[in-house]
Amino acid sequence: NPYILATLLFGLGLGTTITFASSHWLLAWMGLEINTLAIIPLMAQHHHPRAVEATTKYFLTQATAAAMLLFASTTNAWLTGQWDIQQMSHPFPLTLITLALALKIGLAPMHTWLPEVLQGLDLTTGLVLSTWQKLAPFALLLQIHNVNPTILVTLGLASTLVGGWGGLNQTQLRKVLAYSSIAHLGWMILILQYSPSLTLLALLTYFVMTFSTFLVFKLNKSTSINALAISWTKAPILTSLTPLVLLSLGGLPPLTGFMPKWLILQELAKQDLAPLATLAALSALLSLYFYLRISYAMTLTMSPNNLTGVTPWRFSSPQLTLPLAIATTATISLL
């Protein structure tokens, strides 16, 4: 029903906006809660056991994270007597809140729900989960200062490594995208303490790249690496461009995805964290491997030519192709 859909999408936007606009922990928590409640019916709209299972898992993790956040903020109010997000000073609630937000966006080692949940959703809702749902927790992470840097660096490094390793043995595209999301979030968290503007830049480029990747897979109606092998017949032009999009996600130099990684490594080196920068760069190689694997499956395998499969790309819907064209162009040539 379009009315229900509009209401849910409005709730999704409203929750994030409330969190953005709040300076009081209770209001921020309320925004996150509205956001979670709005996306749950969207996730369960296909009455399939997998979708329902994914929704349940998502609901439980988000509820846990929100409860942790509420507990930490009340503890903070109890210890220091104020609710302001910017004025956090006590280390205990600060650490708890950082961990709660990490659970909310799926940073390692609290990442295990993300691939499972993403695998159960359709590609559109998966796109919302991978992009829009990250905004509100990130707004809060950017606002809390004087967190112990070791926590953030540990979370970030663990996420880049887990995101690289976890994606290696996956054949399902949505799980690969989930691990890629974990790795990118790790890069953002690594630099959060030293240069918040770089975190935002990384988040923005990640959004553009993920957007075009999800739309490509949606256009091809492919959810596993095997299904990509026949994408030549479905959308020839797109298939020749998709490897560039994927390699941009992996962060190869002439493409957009290289920019945030380059700047983050530079900043880490400036902060005398060369070993950390080295480890992060090496973990990016792991991610690069599985992006290359998908690119290989897509471009270097030719399916038997069938005329019935050739027709879809001639009649693809304009409401999908225009955003896809913009996102793909940005992903490939924004650098």
Residue type, 214: F
Q: Is 229 exposed, middle or buried (CB count within 10 Å of its CB: 0-12, 13-18, 19+)?
A: middle
Residue 65 has pLDDT above 60, yes or no: yes
Domain ranges of the chain: 148-332
Tell me what the mean pLDDT of segment 152-172 comes to: 96
Mean pLDDT of 183-194: 97
Burial of 258 (0-12, 13-18, 19+ CB in 10 A): middle
pLDDT digits (tens, 9 = 90+) for 67-96: 999 999 999 999 999 999 999 999 999 999
49-64, pLDDT tens digit by residue? Answer: 999 999 999 999 999 9
226: its two tokens: 């095997």
Q: What's the pLDDT at 183?
A: 98
pTM of the predicted model, to two decimals? 0.94
Instruction: Encode the chain in three state secondary structure.
Output: CHHHHHHHHHHHHHHHHHHHHCCEHHHHHHHHHHHHHHHHHHHCCCCCHHHHHHHHHHHHHHHHHHHHHHHHHHHHHHHHCCCECCCCCCHHHHHHHHHHHHHHHCCCCCCCHHHHHHHHCCHHHHHHHHCHHHHHHHHHHHHCCCCCHHHHHHHHHHHHHHHHHHCCCCCEHHHHHHHHHHHHHHHHHHHHCCCHHHHHHHHHHHHHHHHHHHHHHHHHCCCEHHHHCCHHHHCHHHHHHHHHHHHHHHCCCCCCCHHHHHHHHHHHHHCCCHHHHHHHHHHHHHHHHHHHHHHHHHHCCCCCCCHHHHCHHHHCCHHHHHHHHHHHHHHHHCC
**309 has pLDDT over 60:** no
φ, ψ at 71 (rounded to 5°) = -60, -45
Average pLDDT, the chain: 93
